[in-house]
Amino acid sequence: MILTMNKIEMELGGKYLGLLREANDLLDDQQALHARMEEDGYLLIRGLHDVEKVKATRKFLLEKLDENEQINRSHPLDAAIPAEGKRGMFWGGNQKVTHQPPFLNLVESSEIMNFCEDYYNAPVLTYDYKWLRVVAPGSFTGAHYDIVYMGRGTRNLLTCWTPISDVSFDMASLIVLVGSHRFNVIKETYGKMDVDRDHVTGSFSYDPVELVDRYGGQWQTSEFKMGDVLIFSMYTMHASLDNTSGCFRLSTDTRYQRADEPVDERWIGENPKAHYAWTKGETVPMEEMRQKWGV
């Protein structure tokens, strides 16, 4: 099967793209879970969330999108087909949506909070700011490390990507570059960047093949069921396949860390400051920075 990111083809099962492996069998063994994270840079946990909770979040979000006339109502609401001319959006930070119980019940559920507490073996917190994405047909996410967006506190921070529907390969499924958390030359350059301080565009690359050819590793992806989560480190390069389906892909990526470690101040509090300078004013293209860094 050929899958694409930015219309660049990769064969599933070939050199560039494989399947993510599940970590459910390690859930009772924290040492093994940490070893897996160390090895792969991610943990794929099937069925972490209660499916009914994911469904309730989805219904709530689709109703909001429908109120905003984003949904084509000649199809059932749950099909999430965009209305004519409607594009996807980054819905993060919108507290009217992300601070309502149907959303918080999912991203602050006892399932994920307990998972993180067990993982860190310590009390944990999650950022008050929430990232919520409505990824439209034709869109994809460029390859990046999360550290460039949230690197002012501990680096021992986890991203949890939660699809808010079943996600098939054609729905901009997330892809992870396995091995990228050991790309030291990228960690020492790009990985030290801060998008608000440095005024640089955020994605490292829009070409998944270029990255593998130059640095090694393999992109891996999966289809997802409601309830599944993909958890990864700040230095795990990730991106998404193209959304070649006709529907919006809804998902959230939320952050968790030990409560006793430093926190990036942009993402906490009643009114998180968020990205205050990134893409405002003159912004250096990543290609220019990569040339400068020699990566």
Ligand X SMILES: O=C(O)CCC(=O)C(=O)O
**Listed residue (181, 225, 220) closest to 24, CA to CA:** 225
If the CB atoms of residues 112 and 174 are measured against ligand X, the closer one turns out to be 174
Q: What angle do CA 220, 225, 227 make, to 5 degrees?
A: 110
Amino acid making up residue 290: R
Q: What string marks each residue from 220 to 239 as x (binds ligand X by CB under 6 A) or -?
A: ------------------x-
User: DSSP per residue over 111-160, as a string?
Assistant: HHHHHHHHHHTS-EEE-SS-EEEEEPTT----BB-GGGTS-SS-S--EEE
Minimum CB separation of residue 289 from ligand X in Å reads 19
Q: How many residues bind ligand X (CB under 6 A)?
A: 12
If the CB atoms of residues 81 and 167 are measured against ligand X, the closer one turns out to be 167
If the CB atoms of residues 30 and 174 are measured against ligand X, the closer one turns out to be 174
Which region, judged by CB under 6 A, interacts with ligand X, from 50-58, 78-86, 109-117, 133-141?
A: 133-141
If the CB atoms of residues 126 and 159 are measured against ligand X, the closer one turns out to be 159
Choose, by CB under 6 A, the member of 70, 98, 109, 159 that binds ligand X: 159
- Write the CB contacts of 187 (distance below 8 Å, at least 6 apart in sequence): 145, 181, 235
If the CB atoms of residues 44 and 135 are measured against ligand X, the closer one turns out to be 135
Does residue 133 bind ligand X (CB under 6 A)? yes
Report the C-alpha gap between 134 and 117 in whole angstroms.
29
Report the C-alpha gap between 186 and 204 in whole angstroms.
9
Minimum CB separation of residue 204 from ligand X in Å reads 12
Choose, by CB under 6 A, the member of 81, 124, 135, 195 that binds ligand X: 135
Choose, by CB under 6 A, the member of 146, 170, 194, 264 that binds ligand X: 146
Task: Work out the burial of residue 72: count CB atoms within 10 Å of its CB; fewer than 13 is exposed, 13-18 middle, 19 or more buried.
Answer: middle
Choose, by CB under 6 A, the member of 180, 251, 256, 264 that binds ligand X: 251
What residues between 169 and 198 interact with ligand X by CB under 6 A? 172, 174
Residue nearest to ligand X (CB): 253
Choose, by CB under 6 A, the member of 43, 253, 257, 266 that binds ligand X: 253
Decide: 140 and 242 in contact? Cβ < 8 Å: yes
Does residue 240 bind ligand X (CB under 6 A)? yes
Decide: 169 and 232 in contact? Cβ < 8 Å: no
Minimum CB separation of residue 142 from ligand X in Å reads 9
If the CB atoms of residues 238 and 266 are measured against ligand X, the closer one turns out to be 238
In the chain the beta strands, taken as DSSP E runs, fall at 2-5, 8-11, 17-19, 42-45, 89-90, 124-126, 131-135, 158-163, 174-178, 218-221, 229-232, 238-240, 249-258
Minimum CB separation of residue 232 from ligand X in Å reads 8
Report the C-alpha gap between 157 and 231 in whole angstroms.
10
If the CB atoms of residues 132 and 263 are measured against ligand X, the closer one turns out to be 132
Does residue 141 bind ligand X (CB under 6 A)? yes
Decide: 218 and 182 in contact? Cβ < 8 Å: no
| Chain residues that interact with ligand X, rule: CB under 6 A | 133, 135, 141, 146, 159, 161, 172, 174, 238, 240, 251, 253
